[in-house]
Amino acid sequence: MMATGRKAGRLAATLLALALATGAAHAEPPAKELFAAKGSPAALAPESVGFYSKGCLAGAAELAPDGPHWQAMRLSRERRFGHPATVAFLQQLSEEAARRGIWPGLLVGDISQARGGPLPYGHASHQIGLDADIWLQPMPAQRLTQQAREDFAFRSVLREGTLTVDDRVWTDNYRDLIRLAAEDSKVQRVFVHPGIKKKLCETAGRDRAWLNKVRPIYGHHEHFHVRLRCQPGSDGCTPQESTGSGDGCGDLGWWFNVALKPPPPNAKPGKPKPPMRLADLPNQCRVVLNAPGTGAGNPLLMAAPRDAAPAALSYAPIASVPIPTSRPMQ
Ligand SMILES: [Zn+2]
């Protein structure tokens, strides 16, 4: 008995030494895994914590899969959670777009996970419940089945193999929808492909103030991305710098002449960043992660196999458009 006890003691000491050597920070899995495993919002007051690309979300609201003027897509991704202001914004935008005859409704893509946080695939931002993707396709007349919402193809508004908007697809209604979103005072910025920004610049006419919030970024030619400002009650939310006041139409040269040029054939791919750990996020995110859940969330969706999700990587750029590997946050 004594011998076994001593052996066990030695083993424990060895394990402890090993744990200290590898560093306690790595004892925890990457934050994206911890947050992706949470199916229901933290039962706390609504608050966005941290920055859009480094934070989390307490007290999330959930966008229903269906509304009078929207259908949420890719339900298995479980990213229909947002700050209540974001969910309300999407509902109002869809209603106003329909009321003005811009589009009959919206196809809504990813918002955030139930408690926000880093995501295992698809986005650097979308972490604090204030980012939402809207497909650049009017809502079809029919209600799509759950399976159809997985399979429904993304459609680029660019002419294949070019960086130019396809006028067989694009209409002024696309512009009017983006303008409607950008003119909302809650909206901090809207991200679109540089080719779309160029089209907006060319067709905006004289009233151009709204263009200032519409920012060019890689990708985003089959959906656009709306970012809300930090909302009241979110003391821990880090605001993003203002977009200033110009229309941004004079700054597109760099995108077309440098950023979107195909990389040289011998270009080395950028090193992947190490995954964010919980310790890298604001301390409050640990509280958000460990808080009791509201019990909300869709049990049907929570049963969906998680490892099926990357196969549905619907945000991959279309192959024929050159997209550099590094994607700076804008
Ligand atoms: Zn997005």
pLDDT band with cut points at 50, 70 and 90 for residue 296 = low
Mean pLDDT of the chain: 86
CA distance 327 to 322: 13
The average pLDDT across 136-157 equals 96
The average pLDDT across 84-108 equals 98
Residue with tokens 């329909």: 98
**Which contiguous run of DSSP H or E holds residue 148?**
helix 146-151
Dist. CA 206 → ligand 1 center (Å): 29
Q: What residue ranges do the domains of the chain occupy?
A: 30-239+247-260
pLDDT for 327 beyond 50: no
Dist. CA 11 → ligand 1 center (Å): 48
pLDDT for 264 beyond 90: no
Dist. CA 303 → ligand 1 center (Å): 25
Dist. CA 254 → ligand 1 center (Å): 22
The average pLDDT across 236-242 equals 96
pLDDT for 312 beyond 50: no
Dist. CA 57 → ligand 1 center (Å): 16
Which architecture does CATH list for 30-239+247-260?
2-Layer Sandwich (3.30)
CA distance 247 to 208: 6
Dist. CA 301 → ligand 1 center (Å): 21
Dist. CA 245 → ligand 1 center (Å): 23
Dist. CA 138 → ligand 1 center (Å): 18
Euclidean distance between the first and final Cα of the chain, in Å? Answer: 64
Nearest to 285 by CA among 139, 91, 112: 112
What pTM was computed for the model?
Answer: 0.83
Dist. CA 232 → ligand 1 center (Å): 22
Nearest to 256 by CA among 199, 211, 210: 199
